[in-house]
Structure 1
């Protein structure tokens, strides 16, 4: 069986068409794969950053608010302990902003850094606050100490 010029041309055309279609499919697959990878990476990064921010925000709010709540509730009852009364005055002089105040958020100072770095700054900020309370308000800190608080 001999190959005529016409059938040879048809085979070549079919081969070229098949290769062109394969390239198009491969390129589209690569683009879709890239887009999926970018999307998945963004989702993972956003979720990870959200998780860190949630933990940091909860800890910050909890640690600051427990002192506020303690002293606010002590206004309705008379404290018999002179040391706690003195610490209450010291706490008032600390003029601590509300736990939800933006001044407690380290994000605004370090927004160009990675989420884990910002989280580290937030942790240090809360740790410094707890150390200040330990020095200034030792009786209150002892009463309010939690497992993960100042040691």
Structure 2
């Protein structure tokens, strides 16, 4: 049994239409998947960078805060440490989780990351200058 030219032509048209629909669908799904994968990659990279910078900042600030809280309660702290504790109190450093320590105003991740690193560097430089005993203890 053979197909006549008319039926072959109709069959080829239907096959071509189905192939085009499948190709379009696969292309759209592939494009959509690519967009989703790209977004996830960018968001994950931004999250990872922000997490690393935030953890470093919070950790450094929390070390000093905890140290001087203990020194303020200690009855056996040396006069030098008590003096440093007073200096720390006068610096009026907000708690480590305060938003003022963290950069973020809609800029690119790399720019924010650099700003955060600069901020932390400024704080650690200030601490090294004004709080040398504690800084020396932490650097060991």
Q: Do both share a fold (TM > 0.5)?
A: yes
- 1:105 paired with 2:99, answer no
TM-score for the superposition, normalised by structure 1:
0.84
Residue 51 of structure 2: which of 39, 44, 54 is its match? Answer: 54
1:13 maps onto 2:7 in alignment: no
| Structure 1: distance between partners of 2:84 and 2:72 | 13
Counterpart for residue 121 of structure 2: 127
Superposition pairs of residues 1-150 of structure 1, within 5 angstroms: 7-107=4-104, 110-111=105-106, 113-145=107-139
Deviation at residue 83 of structure 1 after TM alignment: 2.7
SS in 2 for 1:75: helix
- 4+ residue segments displaced more than 2 Å: 78-86
- Asked if 2 retains the 8 angstrom alpha-carbon contact of 1:79 and 1:85, the reply is no
Residues in 2 aligned to 1:126 and 1:47: alpha-carbon distance in whole angstroms: 23
Contact 2:72/2:85, CA 8 A, preserved across alignment: no
- Equivalent residues of 2:61, 2:96 under 8 A apart: yes
- Between the aligned partners of 1:79 and 1:59, the Cα distance in structure 2 is 31
Deviation per CA, 1:92-151, whole angstroms, max 9, x where unpaired? 1100000011111101xx32x2222212211111111001111111121111226xxxxx
- The normalised TM-score by structure 2 is 0.90
| Residues 56 and 122 in structure 1, CA contact (< 8 A), matched pair in contact too | yes
Tell me if structure 1 keeps the 8 A contact 2:102–2:116: yes
Distance of 1:13 and 1:80 partners within structure 2: 95
Residue-pair matches, total = 139
d(CA) in 2 for partners of 1:61, 1:40: 31
